[in-house]
Copies of this chain bind each other. A is one copy, B any other.
Amino acid sequence: MAEIIPIHDHIVVKIEEEEEKTKTGIVLPDTAKEKPQKGKVVAVGSGRILDNGTKVPLEVKVGDTVIFSKYAGTEIKLDDEKYLILSEKEVLAILK
């Protein structure tokens, strides 16, 4: 099976479709404001290179469930599964 390796501060997320109420009790309300999205991290980039050359590892890890802004990332399909490639800057929080 092909492997998607995100570069720098990109991550790959498997999109979790919205059920009315998720096991975790999280509902991403379809309010007037943009509805955020949720998904599981399946791959993370090598990190962000700062102005002084330091490479900072990403805070999100493979396996985390993350919440991110509505229009974040670029969508691709791999073996009929929907994935999103986005920058860690577009991630808001991790759901435990």
Question: Does residue A62 face the partner (Cβ distance < 8 Å to B)?
Answer: no
Question: Does residue A19 face the partner (Cβ distance < 8 Å to B)?
Answer: no
B93 touches A85 (CB 8 A): yes
Contacting residues, chain B, for A6 (C-beta < 8 A): 92-93
B96 touches A36 (CB 8 A): no
> Given A2-B95, A27-B77, A49-B50, list of 18 further CB < 8 A pairs?
A1-B25, A2-B25, A4-B94, A4-B95, A5-B96, A6-B93, A7-B91, A7-B92, A26-B78, A27-B76, A28-B77, A36-B76, A43-B93, A49-B56, A50-B51, A53-B54, A70-B74, A85-B92
7 A–B contacts from the bound complex (CB under 8 Å): A2-B25, A4-B95, A7-B92, A10-B92, A25-B78, A26-B78, A36-B74
Residues of A near any B CB (own CB < 8 A): 1-8, 10, 12, 24-29, 31, 33-34, 36, 43, 46, 48-54, 56, 59-60, 67, 69-70, 74-79, 82, 85, 88, 91-96
